[in-house]
Structure formats: C-alpha cells, structure tokens
Amino acid sequence: MNIIFKKEEVLSGVQKIASILPQKTGAAFLRTIWIKSKENEVQFLATDSNIEITCTYHCETREEGLIGVQGKIFSDLLKKLNPGNITLSLQGQKVLITQGQNKYSIPVVESSWFQEFYKFPEENKKIWSGDIIKEAIDKVYFCISDDESLESMTCMSIKKGKEVGDIEFCGLNGPKMALFKLINEDIYSILPEEGILINKKIVNELKKILNEEDIDININEGRLFIRTINKQEMYTFPLSSYNFPNYHDFLEKYKNSMNSSLTINKQDLIYSLDRLILFNTNTKSTIFKLSPSNITLSAYGSDIGEAQEILNCEFSGNLDSIVLMTKDIIEILDHFNSENITFKFSGKLEPFKIEGEEDPNYVIFAMPVEIEEETYYTEE
C-alpha cells in the first residue's frame, strides 16, 4: 500500500471510528483501524463486534492494499499532525506515515484477521432527516431501562402505528413509558411489521452521530444502516431480537378511565417541585392535593422539616390527592415544549398520563406512589 490523503479530510471520520474501539481490553483486531485503498479511494474501517463504521475518502493511490493499525495511536497521531498531505505506505511489517520531513512508524496488524464489513444496502434505501430522528430519540430515551435483566425494556422500540405512515418511538422501563409519534410514509414502508428494537447502548451511539443533516437509512439482515448523503460515513448497528411489550393493550385498557384532569403551567410546577425536592429526604415524593382552581404541593423530611406551596390550576374529577415522585415529574416535564401541561389520572395507585397542547404527538405514562403511614410504639 502507498497512498496520499489530506489530514483535514479524514480526521473527523477516523476519530469517530476510534471512539468505538476498546482502549486496553478485548482482542487485538477489535482495537484495530483497517485501512483499505482501491483506485483513488481510501476506506477507514473499524468494529467493536457490534457496531461497524466505514469512512470513505478521496486519495491518491500509488499502490492498492489493506493494512491494520493499532487504532488509538493512529488516531492520536493523526490528530496532532499538521494540516495537509500525509503519505501512508507499507514497509515490511510496519506502516510508515510521512508528512514533509517527519516520519512515524507503526506496527501493522495481521491482515488475516480482517473480516469483510457490511455494505450499505442500496435497494429500498430511504432518506430521513437526522434532526427529526434525534428529536424522537430525545423524547423517549430517558424511559429506556438500564437494567439488563429487563431485556426488551433496555431497547427503544420503533414500529408502525395504526395509520399508514405513522411511526411510533417508545421507551418503557416499567414505572414510566414515553411514546412519540411522527409521520413518514417512506420509513413506514421499510419497517418490518413487528417493528425494530435498538439497544440503549446503540441508541447512545446514534445520538452522537445524528445532526440536522439528512441521512440515507435502510434496514436489512437484522441491522440498521445509516449513511451520510455524501456517502463518506456509513454506520451499521445490530437490532435486538427481544419481544417488546404490547403497549397498545395498555393504552386500550386505560383509554376511558383517566377521568380526573389537572392542567397547570409547566414552568411554575417545575420551579415549585425543584424547591420541594430539598425536603424529599424520606419518600422522595410530593403530595398533590387537588381542588378546582388550585393545587397544594407538600413534602416532608423527618430530619429537615416540611414545605408547602400552592399553585393555580384547572382541575376536574373525583380525585382529591395523589402522591408522585418529585424527581421523575421534573424530568418528565423537561421533555415537553408546551407552556401548560395536562395530567390525566385514573386513580391514586393507577397509571396516569401527561400531555401538552403544543406536543400533540407526545405522551408520557407513569405510576404514582403509595406512602405508608408511620406508626410509633411506646413501651408501658
């Protein structure tokens, strides 16, 4: 191999590739960046055994070839080199990196360890806006579980909605569920009937690479494929094979039972709860006492004291009070764009939902909590 490329054209891709590589542990080939040249094109490739990244750039190819280098040292060196042309050539069992009069030599990895990477499936590919996908992820991500024993709940679900073109993003961890809907008939057409599940660790990687630009997207062979429109960067991720809970059964069950409605200014409630959380040393919760025109919020800490605040609201229904987890409600409210938020309650210990008028395609479900009365005993 003997090629010349410009540092500033390849650096961003090489750094993204290096970010998925284990630094010290794992097999040597998983710490490797593969460099493959053909005609006037160079590819940088790497995998952590799940995610695969391929970055393709223009180069001057003097001799084609394939080499592997230790990913961290190559990425770190490339970052510190000056802008401009870099020559990379194979010299025996080492790769020689030259810039001007400066030379650097790095051992190569045994090329027999190289395994072919996935190619982007061109058939049925679609174009989707990266910022729309990122918004959908942000809406449900906080409800994806970190507990690996919950299997499917450690994944984000993307599936077809009831109407043609409707797509549903869902995160579910047991106590909370976030559901965000959007319309895209092209993406709807490539989603399998059972939908797809993306593990939270993979979702983390998606969040890093998505921006406001459009991307090519496809689903094939149990994998999600994403590629920049200029075809320079391609990512492929494995999809999970768990069975996601059928949340539509849950939605149907409680569709007509959430008859108590509370509408309140979102920011006022956040500010109030942010003060009350200082007193949450016992139960981590806040008591909501409900009346038609105002709500009384109270919290108690045995070693601190107690707090009570009254906010204006609109309430209708038979529920007189309910206890909610303070931190959870603050986190939920932060995901809405609406000025006013509506809670719909079905009972003191039954699921409730939160909606916003300016968030018509977004709903979050959560569970209230039960506080046991403390009993004190004295000896005769």
Instruction: Please write the tens of the pLDDT for every residue from 71-110.
Output: 999 999 999 999 999 999 999 999 999 999 999 999 999 8
Prediction pTM value? 0.90
Region at 102 (left for phi over 0; alpha for psi -120 to 50; beta for the rest): beta
pLDDT at 377: 33
**Alpha-carbon distance 65 to 89, whole Å?**
10
- Tell me, yes or no, if the two domains 127-218+235-243 and 254-366 fold the same way: yes
The verdict on domain 127-218+235-243 having CATH code 3.10.150.10 is yes
359: tokens are: 């968030």
In the chain, the percentage of residues whose pLDDT exceeds 70 is 96
pLDDT at 111: 86
Q: Are 247 and 173 in contact (CB under 8 A)?
A: no
Q: Are 86 and 74 in contact (CB under 8 A)?
A: no
Identify the architecture of domain 254-366 in CATH: Roll (3.10)
- Domain positions in the chain are 2-113, 127-218+235-243, 254-366
DSSP code at position 27: -
**3-class DSSP state of 169:** strand
pLDDT at 376: 30
Residues of the chain where predicted confidence (pLDDT) is lower than 70: 24-29, 372-380
pLDDT at 296: 97
CATH code for the part of the protein at 2-113: 3.10.150.10
| CA 28 vs CA 67, 69, 76, 93, 201: distances in Å | 14, 10, 17, 16, 22
| CA 65 vs CA 3, 38, 231: distances in Å | 9, 7, 21
